[in-house]
């Protein structure tokens, strides 16, 4: 991964290094917006996932390079302190907007006015120019960031994380399409933002293609991974002993939110196909599913357990509730392979985390996963979502157990280039560019 942020070019040519003449003015303090999910929530629960990890790790690393970060998020229970120090230089502000409990992400657009009011109240207590820049995450935050940036005269940097048009183009069977209101909201943000941060060159291309983003305003910054937490440590055998997993088992792991988009059902169906073909494997396969229902998966929280029973593999599947980051790292170390059959991933942070822990990945060839996984070296990319294709790759690991270690070693080396320090430095460069553009009064969007 390049040590520099790259500017995206629509021509398809390799991204050029972004050079900023006189680029020296970094922000001192950034207002970061995360309306629908709190950085204090545990990933894998509710709407908390990779974006939570992204915001927490990025904010900490920005603070380490002397950029203070204040993260505004919606209060989801009564009695929360108005402010929580997440780390030195990183403050989380809880904003009252709507009832604490029982609000789905889909209900939140109606609360954006109340959330914006809370953000403005916090700002009103400070001197002018207190926040140098607004960095919003996901479209709900972008709507608030648009108004805040205009009101404060501060540049807006926005990260989509996922996009409605892209998700709707590759929906899982039975999943709910994203509403037109979200498409309209995202289009407005793309026009309003001074800079857009994309996780990969493909996501940058999607912003240009689907939302008519100005290619000159789109920067590619790969997310990072906490390399202190996610590392091979004392190895697979020790992790399996701690988790009560058999030493000689084939352990294909699913880790993430349980919803159609993430496609955990594809892994279960693939295991059923594999065991039909190779019944002797039943005695030495364990399939952990680590995570909780989320999104449209909340409508049928027990659907995956019922599917395992229907497929006749309930005896080999182990359902685990979401776990903290340290425990998750142990699950990665214990697994033979992480399986990510997602229909869409803007990046697929979990894939890098697993590889950093020394575990290869089988992933759908979608979104950012071809950047995260080196096909044939650190894991395998699978075209489509046919369970038999995943079963074929699982059979490779069953028949050639040495692949787990050789690919796992290569995966750990590959992940070293995805440190958060690199991502934070590149993000700071994007901030600098946004501030410079605003100071030169050059319009950064069209009409």
Q: Is 323 annotated as a binding residue?
A: yes
What is the rounded CA–CA span in Å between residue 56 and residue 70? Answer: 11
Q: Is 431 annotated as a binding residue?
A: no
Q: Is 335 annotated as a binding residue?
A: yes
Q: Is 343 annotated as a binding residue?
A: no
Q: Is 217 annotated as a binding residue?
A: no
Q: Is 94 annotated as a binding residue?
A: no
Q: Is 256 annotated as a binding residue?
A: no
Q: Is 191 annotated as a binding residue?
A: no
Q: Is 49 annotated as a binding residue?
A: yes
C-alpha distances in Å from residue 375, one per residue of 163, 181, 202, 241:
25, 37, 17, 30
Mapping DSSP to helix (H, G, I), strand (E, B) and coil, where does residue 360 land?
Answer: coil
Q: Is 9 annotated as a binding residue?
A: no
Q: Is 167 annotated as a binding residue?
A: no
Q: Is 137 annotated as a binding residue?
A: no
- Whose structure tokens read 């952990």? 288
Q: Is 374 annotated as a binding residue?
A: no
Q: Is 359 annotated as a binding residue?
A: yes
Q: Is 415 annotated as a binding residue?
A: no
Q: Is 10 annotated as a binding residue?
A: no
Q: Is 50 annotated as a binding residue?
A: yes
Q: Is 280 annotated as a binding residue?
A: no
Q: Is 182 annotated as a binding residue?
A: yes
Q: Is 333 annotated as a binding residue?
A: yes
Q: Is 160 annotated as a binding residue?
A: no
Q: Is 318 annotated as a binding residue?
A: no
What is the rounded CA–CA span in Å between residue 160 and residue 180? Answer: 16
3-state SS of the chain? Answer: CCCCCEECCCCCCCCEECCCCCCCCCCCEEEEEECCCCCCCCCCCCCCCHHHHHHHHHHHHHHHCCCEEEEEEECCCCCCCCEEEEECCEEEEEECCCCCCCCCHHHHHHHHHHHHHHHHHHHHCCCCCCCCEEEEEHHHHHHHHHHHHHHHCCCEEEECCCCHHHHHHCCCCCCCCCCHHHHHHHHHHHHHCCEEEECCHHHHHHHHHHHCCCHHHEEECCCCECCCCCCCCCHHHHHHHHHCCCCCCECEEEECCECHHHCHHHHHHHHHHHHHHCHHHHHHECEEEECCECHHHHHCCCHHHHHHHHHCCCCCEEEECCCCHHHHHHHHHHCCEEEECCCCCCCCHHHHHHHHCCCCEEEECCCCHHHHCCECCCEEEECCCCHHHHHHHHHHHHHCCHHHHHHHHHHHHHHHHHEHHHHHHHHHHHHHHHHHHHHCCCCCCCC
Known binding residues are 36, 42-43, 47-52, 105, 138, 162, 182, 257, 262, 323, 332-333, 335, 345, 353, 359
Known binding residues for UDP-N-acetyl-alpha-D-glucosamine are 42-43, 50, 257, 262, 323, 345, 353
Known binding residues for Mg(2+) are 332-333, 335, 359
Known binding residues for 1D-myo-inositol 3-phosphate are 36, 47-52, 105, 138, 162, 182
């Amino acid at each position: 991964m390049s040590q520099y942020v790259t500017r995206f070019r629509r021509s398809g040519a390799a991204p050029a290094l972004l050079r900023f003449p006189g680029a020296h003015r970094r922000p001192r303090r950034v207002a970061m917006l995360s309306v629908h999910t709190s950085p204090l929530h545990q990933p894998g629960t509710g709407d908390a996932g990779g974006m939570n990890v992204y915001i927490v790790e990025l904010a900490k690393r920005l603070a380490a390079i002397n950029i203070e970060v204040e993260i505004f998020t919606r209060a989801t229970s009564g009695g929360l302190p108005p402010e929580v120090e997440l780390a030195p230089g990183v403050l989380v502000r809880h904003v009252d907007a709507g009832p604490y409990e029982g609000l789905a992400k889909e209900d939140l657009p109606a609360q954006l006015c109340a959330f914006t009011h809370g953000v403005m109240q916090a700002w009103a207590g400070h001197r002018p120019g207190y926040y140098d820049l607004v960095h919003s995450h996901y479209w709900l935050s972008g709507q608030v960031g648009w108004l805040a940036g205009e009101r404060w005269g501060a540049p807006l940097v926005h990260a989509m994380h996922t996009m409605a048009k892209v998700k709707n183009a590759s929906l899982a069977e039975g999943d709910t399409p994203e509403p037109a209101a979200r498409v309209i909201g995202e289009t407005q943000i793309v026009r309003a933002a001074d800079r857009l941060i994309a996780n990969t060159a493909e996501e940058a291309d999607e912003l240009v293609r689907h939302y008519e983003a100005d290619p000159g305003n789109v920067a590619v910054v790969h997310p990072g991974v906490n390399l202190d937490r996610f590392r091979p440590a004392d190895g697979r055998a020790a992790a399996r002993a701690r988790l009560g997993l058999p030493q000689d088992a084939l352990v294909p792991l699913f880790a993430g939110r349980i919803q159609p988009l993430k496609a955990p059902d594809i892994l279960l169906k693939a295991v059923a196909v594999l065991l039909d073909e190779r019944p002797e494997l039943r005695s030495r396969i364990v399939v952990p599913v680590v995570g909780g229902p989320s999104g449209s998966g909340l409508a049928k929280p027990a659907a995956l357990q019922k599917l395992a029973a229907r497929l006749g593999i309930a005896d080999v599947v182990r359902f685990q509730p979401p776990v903290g980051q340290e425990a998750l790292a142990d699950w990665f170390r214990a697994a033979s392979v992480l399986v990510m059959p997602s229909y869409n991933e803007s990046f697929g942070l979990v894939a890098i985390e697993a590889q950093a822990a020394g575990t290869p990945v089988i992933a759908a060839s979608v979104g950012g996963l071809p950047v995260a996984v080196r096909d044939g070296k650190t894991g395998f990319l699978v075209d489509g979502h046919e369970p038999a294709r995943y079963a074929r790759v699982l059979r490779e690991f069953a028949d050639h157990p040495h692949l787990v270690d050789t690919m796992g070693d290569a995966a750990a080396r590959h992940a070293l280039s995805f440190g958060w320090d690199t991502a934070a430095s590149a993000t700071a460069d994007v901030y600098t560019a946004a501030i410079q553009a605003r100071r030169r009064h050059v319009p950064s969007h069209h009409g």
